[in-house]
Amino acid sequence: MFLLDASNKATISEHFRRNKAFSWSEEFFLSAIDADKSKYDVLWAVIALRDCGTRKSLPALKALSKYPKQDVRDSAVLTIAQIAGAAETPYFVQILEDPLSGRNKVYALWAIGVSGDERALASVEQYVRKNKKKLQTEDLDPRAQEEVLAFLYRVDASSLLQEFSFLVPPLARLTPLALHNFLQRVPGMRASIEAELGKFVPAEIPKNDSSLA
């Protein structure tokens, strides 16, 4: 899901190194969010909670839905997904249906695509129908299309997958590595997506091949 690697942890630790109270703990990162000394304190604390946060962190993360900086709001949604998974499907649906949530809708879709359950199906369907024209655009980041397709595949909504096949062409914007990673999530759709895009994606991609990034 949204796990941190050693590099992420090193970056976060470096950011907080001057804080004498620093420890890699849920308590410290919640205190950093509460203190709100800078946007970056809050942002890095939110991301760190993907590693050490528990359901205890959820109220503080949800409170950030009104934070003035978009990247903090977006990151909080993904951290909630990492901590709570499908249990927070109603919260992700709430964001998706909120007419004031703006770009946060894509992050709600991302959370649903990774961890949401069938309770999100009606809202995802409504979102696609309402935004069909925008989702057919092939010159934008196709994150929303990826997550809708991954979610519908995971909950076995085969009729909607067929109806919403117009979500596939925008995936052509993905890098080879990103497309490979997406197809790993929807193995049963590999052949049809490759045919639609006119691309063959190897099942195995060599590591450290910068040409694929």
Say how far apart CA 136 and CA 5 lie, in whole Å: 34
Residues 6+ away with beta carbon under 8 Å from 52: 24, 25, 26, 29
In this predicted structure, what is the pLDDT of residue 208? Answer: 56
Q: CA-CA distance, 95 to 101, in Å (whole number)?
A: 6
Percentage of residues in the chain having pLDDT higher than 70: 96
- pLDDT score, position 210: 46
Q: What pLDDT digit, counting tens, does each position of 144-177 carry?
A: 999 999 999 999 999 999 999 999 999 999 999 9
Mean of pLDDT over the chain: 94
- Alpha carbons 91 and 108: distance in angstroms, whole number: 9
Kindly state the average pLDDT of the residues 48-59.
98
pLDDT digits (tens, 9 = 90+) for 73-124: 999 999 999 999 999 999 999 999 999 888 889 999 999 999 999 999 999 9
Give the global pTM: 0.93
Is residue 41 a contact partner of residue 28, using CB atoms and an 8 Å limit? no
The conformational region for residue 192 under phi > 0 = left, psi -120 to 50 = alpha, else beta, is alpha
199 vs 173, more confident: 173
Q: Hey, how many other C-beta atoms are within 10 angstroms of the C-beta on 36?
A: 13
What pLDDT score does 8 carry? 97
Distance, in Å, from the CA atom of 167 to the CA atom of 28, rounded to the nearest integer, reads 42
Q: What is the pLDDT of residue 137?
A: 87
Spatial separation of the C-alpha atoms in residues 147 and 152, rounded to whole Å:
8
Instruction: Judge contact between 168 and 136, C-beta under 8 A.
Output: no
**Res. 206: pLDDT tops 80:** no
Structural contact between residues 144 and 136, judged by C-beta atoms closer than 8 angstroms: no
pLDDT of residue 49: 98
Query: What tokens appear for 163 in the block?
Result: 């109806």
